[in-house]
Amino acid sequence: MFKAAPDSFDIITLDLNLPKMDGMEVAQQIRKLSKTVPLIMLTARDSESDQVLGLELGADDYVTKPFSPITLVARIKALHRRAETAEPAAVQQEDEEDFDVVTDHFKLSTKTREAYLDGKEIEGLTPKEFDLLHTLAANPKQVFFPRTAASARLGL
């Protein structure tokens, strides 16, 4: 349903234990179609690693069972309120000055932590990968060496 009309959804509450497909995979598919629709994961999976993974896959909130229905409704209202006050992504203009690194084929913004190659967003970068990409792109034609204890003592 979401794939057919992603703009018709105000918010998604997603259970992770689905019969045909894992909810984490569903979340990834949702984020490929829309980066802005608010997404709450609602699940019995309460491990810290599941929570971190869910949030890294694009969930705006992660609620574990058992939960208070009143609290869930409050979280839904808060996310919906934020989504309504945020400027729609389609309306935002991407100026070249919004990017820290711009070439003919590549753009990178440390403000939004987004990188584009030939106009297509590079998805799935970890924070460390993004930082490494920024360092390399911002310093073209430069050679970097791993910092070792010996090189640090020598001031290299």
Residue 135 belongs to domain spanning: 93-156
Q: Is 153 within a domain?
A: yes
State which of 37, 63, 85 marks the end of a domain: 85
Q: Do 21 and 65 lie in a common domain?
A: yes
The residue behind tokens 């949030």 is 55
pLDDT by 10s per residue, the chain, length 156: 888 888 888 899 999 888 888 889 999 999 988 888 899 999 999 899 989 998 988 899 999 999 999 999 999 998 888 877 764 444 344 566 788 899 889 999 888 889 999 889 998 888 888 888 998 999 888 887 777 766 666 666
Domain count, the chain: 2
Judgement on whether residues 30 and 62 belong to the same structural domain of the protein: yes
| C-alpha distance from residue 54 to each of 27, 48, 64, 111, 125 (Å) | 8, 10, 12, 23, 15
Which CATH number belongs to the domain containing residue 72 in this structure? 3.40.50.2300
pTM: 0.54
